[in-house]
C-alpha cells in the first residue's frame, strides 16, 4: 500500500520500497550516463534474441511517438481485405517496418533510434496459426544486424484482428534522439 503525504510531497510504503529495491537490485538497468543519451540493457545470459531487456533515455533527448503502421497493399488484384492483398507475415512485417523507416527518415531519425516497439500480430486466417517466425524474419532485417545493431525493448501480442482486414501486423514505435547542441548544431552522439 502506498501513502502520499500531500503536505510533504513524499510517498511511503511498499511502492517506495519497490523503487528503492530497483535502484539497488543487482543487474538492474543503470541510468544513462551523461555522455550516453540512450543506453540499452542486453538480455540476460548473453541471449542473442534481437531485443533489449530495457532501454534508458537520458534528459536532453527528444522522444518521438510514431503511430501504428500497417503494411501497404502489394497485390491490387487480390480480393480487397484479403491476406493475399498484403502478403504473408514476413512480407507484411518487412513492409510495415519499411513504412516506419520512411517516417523516421522524414524526422531525421533511423531505425537505430527506435527504443520501444509494440507489435500487434494476427493469426493467418487460412491456417488459424500465428506465424511468429515470419514476423521475426521481417524484424531481423531491421534490428540486431551488423549494419544496425541497436535493439529496442519490445512487446509482441497476438490479437483477434486489425482494423485493416487482411493485415496480419501493425507496429508502433517510440524513438529517441539526443538534442543538438544549439551552439554547434551537432548531437552529443
The domain segmentation of the chain, as residue ranges, is 1-30, 32-178
How many other C-beta atoms lie within 10 A of the C-beta of residue 174? 18
Fold (topology level) of 32-178:
60s Ribosomal Protein L30; Chain: A; (3.30.1330)
Per-residue pLDDT of the chain (189 residues; tens, 9 = 90+): 444 443 334 344 433 333 333 333 334 444 445 468 899 999 999 999 999 999 999 998 999 999 999 999 999 999 999 999 999 999 999 999 999 999 999 999 999 999 999 999 999 999 999 999 999 999 999 999 999 999 999 999 999 999 999 999 999 999 999 876 555 555 544
Predicted structure pTM score: 0.77
3-state SS, residue 153: strand
Amino acid at each position: 500500500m502506498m501513502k502520499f503525504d500531500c503536505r510533504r510531497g513524499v510517498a511511503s510504503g511498499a511502492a517506495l520500497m519497490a523503487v528503492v529495491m530497483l535502484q539497488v537490485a543487482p543487474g538492474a538497468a543503470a541510468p544513462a550516463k551523461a555522455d550516453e543519451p540512450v543506453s540499452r540493457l542486453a538480455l540476460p545470459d548473453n541471449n542473442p534474441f534481437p531485443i533489449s531487456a530495457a532501454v534508458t533515455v537520458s534528459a536532453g533527448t527528444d522522444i518521438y511517438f510514431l503511430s501504428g503502421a500497417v503494411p501497404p497493399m502489394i497485390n491490387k488484384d487480390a480480393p480487397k481485405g484479403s491476406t493475399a492483398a498484403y502478403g504473408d507475415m514476413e512480407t507484411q512485417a518487412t513492409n510495415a517496418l519499411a513504412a516506419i523507416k520512411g517516417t523516421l527518415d522524414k524526422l531525421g531519425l533511423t531505425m537505430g533510434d527506435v527504443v520501444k516497439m509494440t507489435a500487434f500480430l494476427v493469426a493467418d486466417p487460412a491456417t488459424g496459426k500465428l506465424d511468429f517466425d515470419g514476423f521475426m524474419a521481417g524484424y531481423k532485417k531491421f534490428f540486431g544486424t551488423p549494419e544496425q545493431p541497436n535493439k529496442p525493448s519490445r512487446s509482441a501480442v497476438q490479437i483477434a484482428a486489425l482494423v485493416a482486414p487482411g493485415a496480419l501486423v501493425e507496429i508502433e514505435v517510440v524513438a529517441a534522439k539526443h538534442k543538438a547542441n544549439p551552439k554547434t548544431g551537432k548531437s552529443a552522439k
